[in-house]
Amino acid sequence: MDKMTQQLSNDEEAVLVPPQGESRRSMISASFNFINSIIGSGIIGLPYALNLAGLPCGILLLILTAYVTDYSIILLIKGGILSGTNSYQSLVQSTFGFPGFVILSGLQFLYPFIAMISYNITTGDTLTKVFRRIPGVGADHILAERHFVILLSTALFTLPLSLYRNIEKLGKVSFLSMVLTLTILIIAVIRAATLGPQIVPTEGAWVFAKWNAIQAAGIMSFAFICHHNSFLLYGSLEKPTLASWSQVTHISVGSALTISAVFAVAGYTTFTGYTQGDIFENYCRDDNMATFGRFCFGLSIITTFPLECFVTREVLSHVMCSRDLSRTEHFTLTVLIVAVCTAISLAFDCLGVVLELNGVLSATPLIFIIPSACFLKLSTSRWFHAENLMPVILIIIGLFVMVTGLVMTGLYPQDCSHGVEMFYCADANTSFTVPPV
C-alpha cells in the first residue's frame, strides 16, 4: 500500500464509530447547508435543460452530473487531506503554485458572484409577480417595481444573513429553504398533472436526445456545483473526517438529485418545447398556485444568497490577506460584496446567456477538471493506475464540455422572454391550441 492510500485509509478508520451528539448535529446542519447550496436558482433552469437535451437524454445527463459532483467533491477533500490544506485555494496553490492559485481564485470568485446576481434578479422578477396578486397593487405600485423589491430583500434579509461569520449558523435557515423547495416541487408536480394536459406537446417533445445536449450539461453543472464552499462545509463538521464527509456528501447530493429530477421532469412535461430558462415565466400571472410557488422560491433564493456570499468573501479575504478578518474588515467586505451584486442586478433584468457561460466556463472546470488535476498531481501512482483512471476521464470530459458548450452557446443562445405572458394564458379554462412553430 503506497503512502497516499495509507494516509486516506487511516483517516477513514478513525471514524468507524458513527459520530454522536454535537458531531451528529453538525453533520445534519452541514447536510442542510449542502443541499441548499446545490438547489439554488439553478433548479428553475433544469426543465429548460431537458428541453435542450431531450427528456431521456436529459435525465441521464442529470444523473451523470450528480455522480460526478459527488465523486469530485470527495476527491477535493481527499486532495486537501493529502496536501494538508483546508481550502480550495490553498489546495490548488500547493499543487500548481501561484498561477494555479490565480486561476482558481478567479473561477471561485466568478461563479458565486454571478450566482448572487442571478439570485437578486430572480428575487426581483419572482416577488414582483407575487405582490401584483395583492388587491390594490397594480403595475405602477412600488411593490411591483423590481428595483425596490431587490433593495428591500437585500436590506431586510440577504445582507443581515450574509454578515454571519460562522456558516454553521445558517443550518436552520437552510432547513427552511429545503421546506420551501419541497413545497415548490409539489406545486410543479400538481400543475404538471392539471395544466400539462391542456397544452398540446410540441413536435419532437419526446425524442431521446437533441443536439443541444452539451448546453444542457452546462446548465446542469451550474445547478449542481457546490465545490466552492465544500471546505467551508467540511470545516463546519464537529469531527471533519473523510468518512463523515463522504456520508454527508452522498446524502446531500442524492437528495438534491431526487428533488432536481422530479422538478425538471414535472416542469418539462408541462410545457415541453415552450419551456423557458426560468420555468416560472411559463406559468400564467393569474395562476394562484404558481404565485404561491413563486413566493416560496423567492424566499428560498433569499436564504441561499448568504451561502454564496460566504464563499465570495472567503476568496477575497484569502487573496488580500492570510489572517482572519477583523470584525470591521468582515463587515466592510461583506457590505461591499452585497452592494456591488445589488447594483449589477438592478442594472440588468436577464442573465440567460451569462448563466449558461457561467456553467460552461466556471462550473465545469470547478467540478470536472481542477479537483481531478489536483488529485493526479498529488498521487504517487502512474496516471493509468486504477485510482487515477476516473480523474483522467473527468478531465477529458470537462475539456470537451467547456469547448463544445462554449461554441453551442454562441450558436444557440438562450432566449429571454422576460415578463412576456405565454399564449396559452388567454383562457385558463379551455384546452389550449398550439400556434404553429
Query: CATH number, domain at 83?
Result: 1.10.4160.10
Q: What is the pLDDT of residue 437?
A: 41
Domain membership flag for residue 385: yes
Q: What is the 3-state secondary structure (H, E, C) of 193-244?
A: HHCHHHECCCCCCCCCCCCCHHHHHHHHHHHHCCHHHHHHHHHCCCCCCHHH
pLDDT for the residue 22: 46
Residue 66 identity: A
Look at residue 404 in the predicted model and tell me its pLDDT: 87
Q: How many domains does the chain have?
A: 1
Cβ count within 10 A of residue 102: 15
| Residue spans of the chain under pLDDT 50 | 1, 3, 9-22, 428-437
pLDDT at res. 57: 96
In a domain, residue 319? The reply is yes
Q: Which three cell numbers stand for residue 189?
A: 408536480
Task: Write the CA distances from 16 to 8, 26, 46, 95, integer angstroms.
Answer: 13, 17, 38, 30
Backbone angles phi, psi at 76, to 5 degrees: -65, -45
Q: Please give the pLDDT value at position 435.
A: 46
Length of the chain: 437
pTM score of the predicted model: 0.81
- Take residue 273 and report the three cell numbers written for it: 418545447
Q: What DSSP assignment string belongs to 341-357? A: HHHHHHH-S--HHHHHH
Does residue 52 lie in a domain region? yes
Q: pLDDT value at position 354?
A: 64
Classify residue 203: in a domain, yes or no: yes
Domain assignment present for 225: yes
pLDDT of residue 136: 87
Q: Are 190 and 289 in contact (CB under 8 A)?
A: yes
* Residue reference for cell 481542477: 370
- Name the β-bridge partners of 432: 199
**Which residue range forms the structural domain that includes residue 76?**
20-426
What pLDDT score does 253 carry?
A: 93
Q: In sequence order, what are the residues at sequence separation of 6 or more whose Cβ sits closer than 8 angstroms to the Cβ of residue 163?
A: 330, 331, 334
How far, rounded to the nearest angstrom, does the alpha carbon of residue 24 sit from its chain's CA centroid? 25
Is residue 432 in some structural domain?
no
What's the rounded Cα separation, in Å, for the pair 386 and 408?
Answer: 33
Is 35 a domain residue? yes
On whether residue 12 sits in a domain, the answer given is no
